Structure formats: C-alpha cells, structure tokens
C-alpha cells in the first residue's frame, strides 16, 4: 500500500486543487491531506473565505482524497508521515525545494501547478468585481440625484 501525503490551505476549492489531487492519487494507493487550520493560517498571515471545517469537508468530498487531518504547525510533518506510513511527499512546484529536508524519511517531489488559477486570484477577481459594482451603483445614484434636482 503506497501512501502519498500533501499539505495546503485549499480555500475556495478550484480546478488547480482538483488537478493536483487527481495527479497525486494516481501516484499510489492512498492520498492523505494535511489541511491548514485557521490558527495556522493566521500565523502564516493568510486569511481564508472558508473556515477550516468547510475546507476539510470539501477535501473529504473529493473522490481522490482518502483522509484529511489538521495542519497546525510547521513542525508536525515528520510525525504525520510516520503515523500515516507515507512513502511519497508531494507539493505543487511553488514549494520547490522547501521540504527537501524530509527526504531522509520519505521521497519528496514537486509537481507543476495548474497555470492561471489560485485562491488569491479568485479573491482578487471578486474584489475587483465588487469595486466595479460599487462605482456603477455610485454613478447610477449620482445620475438619479441629478435627475431629481433638475
Ligand atoms: N496548486 C496547484 N495549482 C494551482 C493552485 C494550487 O497545483 N493552480 C497546489 C499548490 O501548489 C499546493 C496545493 O495546490 O500544493 C494547495 O495550494 P493552496 O496554497 O491551498 O492553493 P492556492 O490556490 O495556490 O492558494 P493561494 O493563492 O492562497 O496560495
């Protein structure tokens, strides 16, 4: 039984996450995912739209994922790998080189990210849309006031 382990925040679950999880599940028999908790994210200076329980529920509903556990700090990975009997540790290549120190315990490698999508990008897109809508509403209100005054 070959177990693969990976970690991430997985906010606003998107196709980049699905592609990664699908590819990882094809590398072995069992895929386990450490999902960053809200308190670990705030330590990293990261805020999420969905709280941990919802991000975890989305991961658990994904057919490629066999088990989800909380990622609460940077130091837990060795204990997780041992507990889960993982033989392969894989992350997207935005993390390339960052976890090579685990290679005495597990095979470590990084796979290419899906281009042009990230949770941050979705949040930026929604923020821009929100700002555009605000400007549009302000313009409509100004026009209405002008009409009422004339
Ligand atoms: N990932 C990927 N392709 C993407 C986005 C993410 O392969 N387009 C991978 C990351 O490399 C990581 C995992 O998905 O191994 C979880 O990444 P996460 O940081 O939660 O997702 P992002 O969308 O990159 O979120 P953010 O923009 O907040 O960093």
Task: Give me the DSSP letters along 69-84.
Answer: EEE--STTHHHHHHHH
pLDDT digits (tens, 9 = 90+) for 22-47: 999 999 999 999 999 999 999 999 99
Which of 4, 10, 20 most suits a substitution to test ligand 1, by most atoms within 8 Å of the C-beta? 20
Residue 11 tokens read as: 């906010």
* Residue 139 confidence (pLDDT) above 90: yes
Residues of the chain above pLDDT 70, percent: 100
Q: Which atom of ligand 1 has the smallest separation from the CA of 120?
A: 27
E strand or H helix that includes residue 149: helix 119-149
Instruction: Tell me, yes or no, if 85 is annotated catalytic.
Output: no
* Residue 49 confidence (pLDDT) above 90: yes
DSSP class of residue 98 equals: T
CATH architecture of 3-114: 3-Layer(aba) Sandwich (3.40)
Mean pLDDT for 132-144 is 94
Please report, for the chain, the start and end positions of each structural domain, with discontinuous segments joined by +.
Answer: 3-114, 118-150
**116 band by pLDDT with thresholds 50, 70 and 90:** very high
């Amino acid at each position: 039984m070959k177990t693969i382990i990976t970690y991430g925040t997985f906010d606003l679950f998107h196709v980049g996450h699905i592609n990664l999880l699908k590819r990882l599940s094809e590398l072995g028999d069992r895929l386990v995912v450490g999902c960053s908790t809200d308190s670990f994210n705030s330590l990293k200076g990261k805020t999420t739209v969905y709280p941990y329980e919802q991000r975890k529920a989305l991961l658990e509903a994904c057919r490629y994922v066999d088990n989800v556990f909380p990622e609460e700090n940077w130091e837990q990975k060795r204990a997780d790998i041992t507990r889960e009997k993982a033989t392969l540790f894989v992350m997207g290549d935005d993390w390339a080189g960052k976890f090579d120190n685990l290679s005495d315990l597990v095979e470590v490698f990084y796979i290419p990210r899906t281009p042009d999508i990230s949770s941050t990008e979705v949040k930026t897109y929604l923020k821009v849309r929100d700002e555009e809508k605000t400007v549009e509403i302000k313009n409509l209100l100004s026009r209405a006031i002008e009409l009422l005054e004339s």
